[in-house]
Structure 1
Amino acid sequence: MRYKRSEGLTASEQVLAELCDQSFLKLWTYPNLFRKPSKELTDLLVVFGNDVLIFSDKSCKYPNTGDVELDWSRWYNKSIAYSARQIAQAERWIRSYPDEVFLDARCLEKLPVTLPSSADMRVHRICVPLGALDRAELETGTRWLKIDQAVLNDEARFTVGRTDKARGWVHVFDEASLHTVLSELSTIKDFIHYLESKVAVLSTDNFKFAEAETDMLAYYLWHGRTFPPIEREYRIDGRLWPQVDASSQYRSSREANKVSQLWDGFIERVNDEYIEENLDFGNENAMSEHERAARILASETRFYRRVLSKAILERAERAKKEAISALLPSESGDVSYVLFVGRGDQGGDHVTYRKDRLEQLRGRCVAAKAIYPERRFIVGIGMDALGVEGSSEDFICIDTECWTNEDVTNAQKIRTELGYFKDGNAVVSRLSEDEYPGRPGAIDVASLADELSRLTVAESLELAEILRSRWQPKSGPESAGQ
């Protein structure tokens, strides 16, 4: 095993780690980090490219002195203010000493992913204070914390706003809102976009108040994942989340998103097998190389994971009759996805079949650079048709940043000679998908190109020789298989 991370020390930390694992996946989620021996850095850190999320979790018993203002002030200072200070300390440390962040209390095992430079780092500060909702319900009849950007520190009971204990905005999620937000924004890209959009609207003069974090989430989701600009002062109505949650369109969207678990499974399986060093090939890749490739897959939003998963499953069904390859869309303008679905070994030699499948995938990845030369990354996914017993998956990530014009020309030769994704050999279509089924306005996602593969094993071995002799790019592929 490459490293062993903590799963959370306290019950609340374990819940936080589990929620973040589900949304952001384990490769990027690290509970209970340390900066010096026995000196805790933060309760949980998420590192995803240039985005760093610092979580501080504090579970404090709410006082009962008979003075409601004093009780709130004491609880606030022991939970939210303390968390904000811990977050500020953690941020200063990782900006100043990015190579001195450790997984264990003895500080023997370093954080396995690379932190971005201070200049490139985008920090998102998240406080999770527990223990106030029972009293909030008793005193106000509502079981949540309100949001008012005009409030500083503990100025208003059961209301969070700005703090002078940390630099920048500190997001405060109570135990109820944290679970809802992470469940509904269950990818790192979706969650970060919400945090950034929320900071932007809280920084305006027109937004004044939200009854609860979940109401802000509902407003954001129902307006197409934005906070639309409003030229007057406004408040977000209370109990908006139950209305959105109960709407038929939103429930249909949630149901439609279930298929996207296929994409999540790709990422989690290849990450888990890499960490356990159980990949059939690819275990030799450096952590930084593997993480970069996996991060491309994990950078897709929930909606696009749905789009990609539906496209893959449809082609995996068709591949029962004949192998099929496809160019699939990405939300990133810098990425091309290449899919190759084989029929399985059909009772023959599996090693030869899998080698054939990998070479066919690799050849199409090269051809994809000729089709979209402006895209830097080419990610290949090799798999078997639905229902194949003992199926396997292969992943290739090619970074073409250092490719020369000659490399691209050679890629075009491969495409021309082997006929990959060319007129007459491929069918080009467009994909239209409703994020909220039943609501007007389907999104025209992207063009897709499909082609049936008719190469025999002998022809595939000839292809491998062509690739070796004619394609010698400056930056080669990274592969992972299981």
Structure 2
Amino acid sequence: MLKPINKEASVNESEKILATIASNTFFSLWCYPSLYRSLGKGKELTDLTVYFNNTVILFSDKGHVKFQEQNDPKLAWSRWYRAAVKESAKQLHGAESCIRNHPDKIFLNSKLDEPFPFDLSRPDLKIHLVAVTRGIGKHAKQHFDAIRPGSRGSLGYFYGANEEQLLDKPFFVGDVDMSKTFVHVLDEGGIKLLLEELCTPADFIRYLEVKEDAIRNKNLLISAGEEETLACYLQEDGGNGFGKITNPPHNKGNFLVIPEGEWDHYRKTVIYALRYQQRKEAKLWNDIISRFADGIVDAQVGEASNLPFITHANAVQVLASENLLSSSLLATALFDKFHTVPSGTRSARTTHSICNPGRVYVFVFFPWSNRFNSYDEYRQERTAYMQLYACVARYKFQKAKEILVLGADTKGHQGGSETIFAIDASVPLTGDERTTAQKIMKTYNILDNISQRAIPGNGVAKSVSRNAPCPCGSNKKYKKCCLNPEP
């Protein structure tokens, strides 16, 4: 029986802010403030833990550490660095060690009576570490403006410098301990920007991976700020809707240095305009995920409440594993179909995932009618039809590795519920299963004459005429769509 997930509250206001903005990207299902470990008399593990698809992101928030501006700048910087950065890194590496060595001793609360609901024991578990700071921006801006006016006030990054060099270079941080797991050090502007722009778990995690690889492989040496690194990443095509960080060939073997101004330049490109539009479209997809996630956390799923937590979580994880590009295109496919289905008509649409090749979605719109005695009865029949669609989809998409079926009401009914389930399609159909699928398709008119939507790739020309059709697919002119996004 599914039970509610009872989480501990964040300890202070800074941690509460972090948990709130992180949950917008990772949803309530994968975002956990203040986990505890049964080792060391039940100490807090770290300030925020995110778990998604066998990946853990540990956050340490030292927003309470103040910069002692009344002291000499270098003295104030060294004290702040040790308290805000070094202590965070120490906490994060300790939490990582605890998870690696004692994955079964992590709990949701200080009473240690509710174990963490996800399996942390897999040997291939990935862990990323993020140290969050606050209140340093205004001091950084004053420092950098004294050198050259116009600074954004972000922390700078010098990844090849040791601690002694960094303490002598105020408002620059680097690779805190090159012998251990990399720690991303972010000020309040940096963490807010990343979680806004990389607003899906897949996008945020990929960025951390790419950035870590660039630094540890000694390709990226210096960046003027996290926003500049992000701009560099988003302007390069990493495939399937992701970005990348590359050291251009004309650098002739030198390290990559990302100067100030990259983010301002990126904001003026077509790529930014398209991504801005994708964020608006993807919000519709994220709203569906959020409802599912909250329902699981609160144990208010409406149906299949007898199934275990992990079964529900794994199904919703499929939806949430799409990146921004894929989410926006899936949302467009889903809602375009929703608005064109005639009242009282059963209909469906199939489409493919951009960032997860081999995954097929089947959107089933099933109408309510007065023949149902209750909404529960309606949902049971809708689920039965979804299973028929899944059977036929396996037959029609035999190269698919995974099929996700999403069932929803048709337009005009006030119920407004959705049901999802995912099936493994990697095992070939037997002869009997093929025959059964053919009979279902003919008997129930399932996927025999379906409206299908081919999702385009993410290769977008970097210059588009103002009067040309907008490449986002809105059917508007570019100048009236993504060229001038809302502020």
Looking at structure 2, the residues matched to 61 and 428 of structure 1 have their Cα atoms a distance apart, in angstroms, of: 56
Looking at structure 1, the residues matched to 117 and 452 of structure 2 have their Cα atoms a distance apart, in angstroms, of: 42
* Residue identity matched to 2:421: I
Q: Secondary structure at the match of 2:132?
A: strand
Give the alignment's TM-score, normalised by structure 2.
0.83
TM-aligned CA deviation for residue 416 of structure 1: 4.9
TM-aligned CA deviation for residue 110 of structure 1: 1.3
2:129 to 125, 128, 131: 125
Partner of 1:70: 75
1:97 aligns with 2:115: no
Q: Secondary structure at the match of 2:454?
A: strand
Instruction: Decide which structure has greater strand share.
Output: 1
TM-aligned CA deviation for residue 336 of structure 1: 2.3
* Residue identity matched to 1:148: F
Report 1:100-119 matches (<5 A). Answer: 100-117=105-122, 119=123
Q: CA contact under 8 A between 2:349 and 2:451: conserved in structure 1?
A: no
Partner of 1:362: 387
Partner of 1:167: 180
Report 1:51-450 matches (<5 A). Answer: 51-59=55-63, 60-64=65-69, 66-117=71-122, 119-141=123-145, 142=151, 143-153=153-163, 155-156=165-166, 157-164=170-177, 167-224=180-237, 225-231=243-249, 232=251, 233=254, 234-247=256-269, 250-321=272-343, 322-330=345-353, 331-345=355-369, 349=373, 351=375, 353-399=378-424, 405=430, 408-409=433-434, 412-418=437-443, 419-422=445-448, 425-432=449-456, 439=463
Partner of 1:40: 44
CA gap of 1:2–1:128, structure 2 versus 1, over 3 A, is: same
Looking at structure 1, the residues matched to 21 and 322 of structure 2 have their Cα atoms a distance apart, in angstroms, of: 19
User: Over residues 311-359 of structure 1, what are the superposed CA-to-partner deviations in whole Å (9 max), with x where a residue is unaligned?
Assistant: 1111111113432112121232343211111243268655454444322
CA gap of 1:407–1:215, structure 2 versus 1, over 3 A, is: farther
Partner of 1:470: none
TM-aligned CA deviation for residue 274 of structure 1: 2.4
Return 5+ residue gaps in structure 2 as ranges: 146-150, 238-242, 465-469, 474-487
Q: CA contact under 8 A between 1:148 and 1:208: conserved in structure 2?
A: yes
TM-aligned CA deviation for residue 245 of structure 1: 2.7
TM-aligned CA deviation for residue 44 of structure 1: 0.8
TM-aligned CA deviation for residue 210 of structure 1: 1.0
User: Over residues 79-126 of structure 1, what are the superposed CA-to-partner deviations in whole Å (9 max), with x where a residue is unaligned?
Assistant: 111011111100110011111111111212211222241x21111111
Q: CA contact under 8 A between 2:278 and 2:325: conserved in structure 1?
A: no
Q: Secondary structure at the match of 1:130?
A: coil
Q: CA contact under 8 A between 2:222 and 2:258: conserved in structure 1?
A: yes
User: Over residues 378-411 of structure 1, what are the superposed CA-to-partner deviations in whole Å (9 max), with x where a residue is unaligned?
Assistant: 2211112233323322222234567873674355
CA gap of 1:407–1:442, structure 2 versus 1, over 3 A, is: farther
Partner of 2:148: none
CA gap of 1:407–1:395, structure 2 versus 1, over 3 A, is: farther
Q: CA contact under 8 A between 1:415 and 1:421: conserved in structure 2?
A: no
Q: Secondary structure at the match of 1:277?
A: coil
Q: Secondary structure at the match of 2:392?
A: helix
Q: Secondary structure at the match of 1:398?
A: strand
Percent identical across equivalent pairs?
A: 26
Aligned length: 441
TM-aligned CA deviation for residue 197 of structure 1: 1.1
Looking at structure 2, the residues matched to 373 and 154 of structure 1 have their Cα atoms a distance apart, in angstroms, of: 59
Q: Secondary structure at the match of 2:62?
A: strand
Looking at structure 1, the residues matched to 393 and 285 of structure 2 have their Cα atoms a distance apart, in angstroms, of: 21
* Residue identity matched to 2:15: E
* Residue identity matched to 2:388: G
CA gap of 1:406–1:290, structure 2 versus 1, over 3 A, is: farther
Partner of 1:477: none
Looking at structure 1, the residues matched to 364 and 61 of structure 2 have their Cα atoms a distance apart, in angstroms, of: 44
CA gap of 1:109–1:205, structure 2 versus 1, over 3 A, is: closer
Q: CA contact under 8 A between 2:398 and 2:428: conserved in structure 1?
A: no
Give the alignment's TM-score, normalised by structure 1.
0.84
Partner of 1:6: 8
